[in-house]
Amino acid sequence: MNKERIGVIGYCWGGGNSLLFATRNSQLKAAVVYYGPNPANIDDVANIAAPLLGIYGEADTRITVNVPALEAAMNKHDKSFEYKVYPGAAHAFFIDTGTRYHPESARDAWKVTLAFLEKHLKG
C-alpha cells in the first residue's frame, strides 16, 4: 500500500460523505461517489484536490437531477470530474441483494470505478 495514494469511495449516504470528505481533505488522490447527494454548499467543491468520479442511476431522479449543478460547480472551480449516468438504473442499483439491483449497470460501474482508481491511485 502506498500511503501517499489514498482514495475514498462511498454509496448513497456514504457517497455523499465521500464527496464531503473530498472537500475537506486535500491529501486524497481520488474520490468516488455512487449516487450520493451534493454538498449542502455546492461551492465547497472549490476545496477538492482529488479527481472525482460520480456513478448515478437515471431513474434516481432525486439525486441525478443535481448532477448538472455539481458538474457546473466543478467546472467553475476547474476541478476534475467524470461521471456516468446509467439508463434504467435506480438508486442503489449496485446492491446485488436488493430489489433495485441492475446487473449490467453494476458490472460496468465497477469496471469504470476500478479503472479510475487504478489511474489515480497506482503509482
One-letter amino acid identity for 83? Y
What pLDDT is attached to residue 1? Answer: 55
Select from 111, 103, 105, 69 the least CA-distant residue to 87: 105
Instruction: Please report, for the chain, the start and end positions of each structural domain, with discontinuous segments joined by +.
Output: 7-121
| Assigned CATH topology for domain 7-121 | Rossmann fold (3.40.50)
- pLDDT (0 to 100) of residue 2: 66
**Helix, coil or strand: residue 111:** helix
pLDDT along the chain (123 residues), means of 10: 85 98 97 98 97 98 98 98 98 96 98 97 84
Q: What's the pLDDT at 121?
A: 95
Residues designated as active site: 12, 60, 91
Helices (H), ranges, 9-102 = 13-22, 61-64, 67-76
